[in-house]
Amino acid sequence: MTASSKNIFEEKKLGQSQDFGLLKKLYPYVKPYRMIFTYTFILILLITGLELTIPYITKVVIDRYIVPENSIQLKKKSQTRFLRCDLSDPEITRIVAAYPALFQVDKDTAIISYKHLDDLPKTTLVHLRKDDLTGVSYAAAALFIIVIISFFLNFIKVILMEVAGQKMMHDLRIKLFSHIQGLSIHFFTKNPVGRLVTRVTNDTQNMHEMFTSVLIFVVKDIFMLIGITIVLFSIDWQLSIVVYTVFPFVFYAAYKFSRSARHAFRTLRIKVAEINSKFSETIGGMQVIQLFAQEHANYKKFEKINNAHFQAGMQQITVFALFMPLIEMMGSVALAIVIFYGGESIIAQRISLGTLVIFISYIKMFFRPIRDIAEKYNITLNALSSAERMFLILEDHDMLPEAGEEKLTQLPARINSLGFNHVSFSYIKGEIVLNNVSFNIRSGETIAIVGPTGAGKTSIVNLITRFYDPDAGAIMINGIDIKRFRISDLRSKVAVVTQDPYIFSGSIRNNIFTQTGPVHDRKINDINYINDILEASYCKRFIDNLPHGIDTEMTESGSSLSSGERQLISIARALAHDPDLIIFDEATSYVDSETEKKISEALSNLMKNRTAIVIAHRLSTARNADRIMVIHSGKIIETGTHEKLLKQKGFYHRLNHMQG
CA distance 268 to 657: 57
DSSP-H helix ranges across 493-554: 508-512, 518-523, 527-536, 540-544
At residue 635, what is the residue type? K
CA distance 302 to 320: 27
| Residue 406: predicted pLDDT | 63
Give the residue among 533, 204, 226, 534 at the shortest CA–CA distance from 389.
204
Least reliable range by pLDDT among 343-347, 436-440, 445-449, 547-551 = 343-347
Question: What mean pLDDT comes out for the span 11-33?
Answer: 66
Backbone dihedral region for residue 640 (phi beyond 0: left; psi -120 to 50: alpha; all else: beta)? left
pTM: 0.65
Most confident range, picked from 278-287, 346-355, 383-392, 622-631: 622-631
> What are 498-540's pLDDT values in tens digits?
777 778 777 888 888 865 544 455 566 678 888 888 888 888 8
pLDDT at 423 over 90: yes
pLDDT at 2 over 50: no
At residue 504, what is the residue type? F
> What are 262-274's pLDDT values in tens digits?
667 777 767 877 8
pLDDT at 75 over 50: no
Q: Domain locations in the chain?
A: 3-64+134-394, 493-625
| Residue 390: predicted pLDDT | 83
CB neighbours of 235 closer than 8 A, spacing ≥ 6? Answer: 59, 355, 358, 359
pLDDT at 590 over 70: no
- Percent of the chain whose pLDDT exceeds 90: 7
Confidence label for 570 from pLDDT (cuts 50, 70 and 90): confident
Dihedral of CA atoms 524, 528, 529, 531 in degrees, nearest 10, equals: 90
| Residue 176: predicted pLDDT | 87
CB-count exposure of residue 398 (10 Å: 0-12, 13-18, 19+): middle
Confidence label for 4 from pLDDT (cuts 50, 70 and 90): very low
CA distance 467 to 596: 29
- Classified by CATH at the fold level, domain 3-64+134-394 comes out as ABC transporter transmembrane region fold (1.20.1560)
CA distance 222 to 172: 28
CB neighbours of 472 closer than 8 A, spacing ≥ 6? Answer: 422, 423, 424, 436
| Residue 420: predicted pLDDT | 92
| Residue 9: predicted pLDDT | 41
CB neighbours of 271 closer than 8 A, spacing ≥ 6? Answer: 305, 308, 309, 312
Give the residue among 161, 208, 273 at the shortest CA–CA distance from 26.
208
Confidence label for 148 from pLDDT (cuts 50, 70 and 90): very high
Question: What mean pLDDT comes out for the span 352-371?
Answer: 79
| Residue 490: predicted pLDDT | 87
The angle subtended at Cα 527 by Cα 524 and Cα 530, nearest 5°, is: 60
pLDDT at 450 over 60: yes
| Residue 592: predicted pLDDT | 67
Do 433 and 457 meet the contact criterion of CB atoms below 8 Å apart? no
Check residue 197 and report its DSSP letter: H
CB neighbours of 212 closer than 8 A, spacing ≥ 6? Answer: 161, 162, 164, 165
3-state secondary structure of 86: strand
CB neighbours of 106 closer than 8 A, spacing ≥ 6? Answer: none
Q: What is the CA radius of gyration of the chain?
A: 40
Cβ-based neighbour number of residue 420 at 10 Å = 21
CA distance 88 to 92: 8
| Residue 10: predicted pLDDT | 42
Least reliable range by pLDDT among 283-287, 466-470, 473-477, 567-571 = 283-287
Do 102 and 116 meet the contact criterion of CB atoms below 8 Å apart? yes
The angle subtended at Cα 393 by Cα 392 and Cα 398, nearest 5°, is: 110
Cβ-based neighbour number of residue 101 at 10 Å = 6
Please tell me the CATH code under which domain 493-625 is placed: 3.40.50.300
CA distance 340 to 236: 15
